[in-house]
């Protein structure tokens, strides 16, 4: 079984208590949670939908500090991997996974396309491109990522939003 060592963490996850779960992060990362990390109620529903058998391997494309992977691996019997471009966020996830001795959860540092998608059965993503939206400037995670493509990606995303009404 993939239980964390900290029973309070498990209680928060099962109770979908985001504020409680986010205590595992330091202030700055915790403050980003409401906008950038998936709420536990959504993790529960999405992971149950994605994991069809205990052998299902789920990949979170742009996993941040690992909230979806960590909670998904506790809500289900599947294996959860995440790939994240910001090393600092990977380090946070690695530390939690190690100190809580979580199985079925692993994080890779790098761009989304560094992994072979054929190694996975199901995919999850939560707005990995949102930072390119001009309206999201004040909500950026940090300034470590080169957003030089924003003049192209931004209008493209705005166009998609307007076209599909999302």
Ligand X SMILES: C[S@@+](CC[C@H](N)C(=O)[O-])C[C@H]1O[C@@H](n2cnc3c(N)ncnc32)[C@H](O)[C@@H]1O
Contact flag: residue 140 with ligand X (CB under 6 A): no
- Upper half-sphere CA count for residue 32 (Cβ side, 13 Å): 18
Which residue among 2, 38, 47, 81 contacts ligand X (CB under 6 A)?
Answer: 38
Which residue among 112, 122, 133, 153 contacts ligand X (CB under 6 A)?
Answer: 112
Q: Give me 77's structure tokens.
A: 């019997």
Helices marked H in 5-117: 7-14, 18-21, 27-36, 40-50, 67-75, 87-99
Task: Tell me the closest approach of the beta carbon of residue 39 to ligand X, in angstroms.
Answer: 9
Q: What number of helices (H) and strands (E) belong to the chain?
A: 7, 4
> Closest Cα partner for 19 from 107, 47, 9?
9
Considering only 2-10, 20-28, 36-44, 45-53, which stretch makes contact with ligand X by CB under 6 A? 36-44
Interface residues for ligand X in 53-72 (CB under 6 A)?
60, 62-64, 67-68
Strand, coil or helix: 65:
coil
Q: Which is nearer to ligand X, 122 or 130 (CB)?
A: 130
* Binding region for ligand X (CB under 6 A): 36-38, 60, 62-64, 67-68, 83-86, 89, 111-112, 126-128, 130, 141
């Amino acid at each position: 079984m993939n239980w964390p060592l900290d029973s309070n963490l498990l209680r928060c996850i099962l109770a979908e208590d985001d504020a409680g779960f986010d205590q595992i992060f330091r202030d700055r990362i915790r403050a980003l949670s409401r906008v950038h990390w998936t709420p536990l109620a959504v993790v529960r529903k999405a992971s149950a939908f994605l994991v069809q058998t205990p052998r299902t391997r789920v990949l979170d494309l742009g996993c941040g500090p690992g909230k979806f992977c960590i909670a998904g691996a506790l809500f289900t019997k599947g294996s959860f991997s995440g790939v994240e471009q910001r090393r600092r966020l990977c380090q946070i996830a690695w530390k939690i996974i190690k100190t809580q001795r979580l199985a079925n959860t692993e994080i890779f540092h790098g761009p989304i396309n560094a992994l072979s998608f054929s190694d996975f059965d199901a995919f999850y993503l939560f707005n990995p491109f949102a930072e390119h939206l001009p309206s999201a400037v004040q909500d950026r995670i940090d300034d470590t990522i080169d957003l030089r493509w924003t003049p192209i990606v931004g209008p493209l995303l705005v166009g998609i939003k307007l076209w599909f009404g999302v």
